[in-house]
Amino acid sequence: MKRFVFFIVIMVIGIPVFAQREVPGHTFASGSWRFAGPRLYQNDEKARLAKVNFRVPQSGIMLYGFNVRYEGGAEDGHGGFGLHIFVDNALNRASWGAGKSWLLWLNYDKKPLSKDIPAGLSAQIYRSISNSRMELIDSIPLTEYERFLTQENLASPVTFRIIANGDTGEIRVYDPTDPDNKTYFFFFIDKKDLPLKGSFVALRTNGIKLSFALEE
């Protein structure tokens, strides 16, 4: 039977040492979350800081694999979602940051309020310093991928694969449009922040309805 498993496997030196077979301990901190079969839904398109915290120990090389399906809410030209990884301590209510952690964010905004965020589709990485403070580390325009935002494509789950090395600070986000997983974007975390360790991962959305599931 299928079960929602957001974090497929933890790997150290390429060897799988942990596989999450049940739903990790979790708390719906803000937004409107529910499980339906194998999928986890966030159903409040007005929630700007929707968040669910999962208790997952993290260190060394981490592999995160999941799929995402659009369920509505971006008709106003804005919506986004992302992962806080290597979270030291989870806050079980709405918050801008997530303790000490790193946020990988995918954003769509026709008219962003910040000049540092490109219009249209883009990706960001933030350093979360506390629950109320984050720093934008990098921002990448993804306008060339907007051609994939068709009604047909949005109706199907999109697979994401992320590898984060807590020892070296390298984070690879694989191109979901590349079925061979050969193309990826990468970021390097400042050495002063290494090694990265955490006890939680926080999944969050902003102004959009989405569903998530294990990618088999």
19-70 pLDDT per residue, tens: 344 567 899 999 999 999 889 999 999 999 999 999 999 999 999 989 999 9
Q: How many residues does the chain have?
A: 216
pLDDT of residue 102: 97
Closest C-alpha among 139, 110, 137, 134 to residue 123: 139
| pLDDT for res 169 | 95
pLDDT reading at 193 higher than 50: yes
Report pLDDT digits (tens) over 137-156: 999 999 999 999 999 999 99
The confidence band for 205, taking pLDDT boundaries of 50, 70 and 90, is very high
Q: Alpha-carbon distance 199 to 137, whole Å?
A: 22
Instruction: Answer for the pair 94, 64: CB distance below 8 angstroms, yes or no.
Output: no
Q: Residue 30, by phi and psi: left (phi above 0), alpha (psi -120 to 50) or beta?
A: beta
CATH number belonging to domain 9-213: 2.60.120.560
63 bridge partner residues: 9, 163
Question: Using one digit for the tens of pLDDT, what is the confidence trace for 3-12?
Answer: 343 333 333 3
Give residue 147's pLDDT. Answer: 96
Structure tokens belonging to residue 61: 């090389």
Does residue 119 sit in helix, strand or coil? coil
Whether 15 shows a pLDDT value over 90: the answer reads no
pLDDT in the model for residue 22 = 59
DSSP-derived letter for residue 203 is E
Tell me the torsion sign for CA atoms 102, 108, 114, 115. positive
Tell me the per-residue pLDDT of 69-122, one tens digit each, with 9 for 90 and over.
Answer: 999 999 999 999 999 999 999 999 999 999 999 999 999 999 999 999 999 999
- Beta-strand (E) ranges in the chain? 9-12, 15-19, 26-30, 33-36, 39-42, 50-58, 61-72, 78-87, 101-109, 120-128, 134-141, 158-165, 170-174, 184-188, 198-206, 209-213
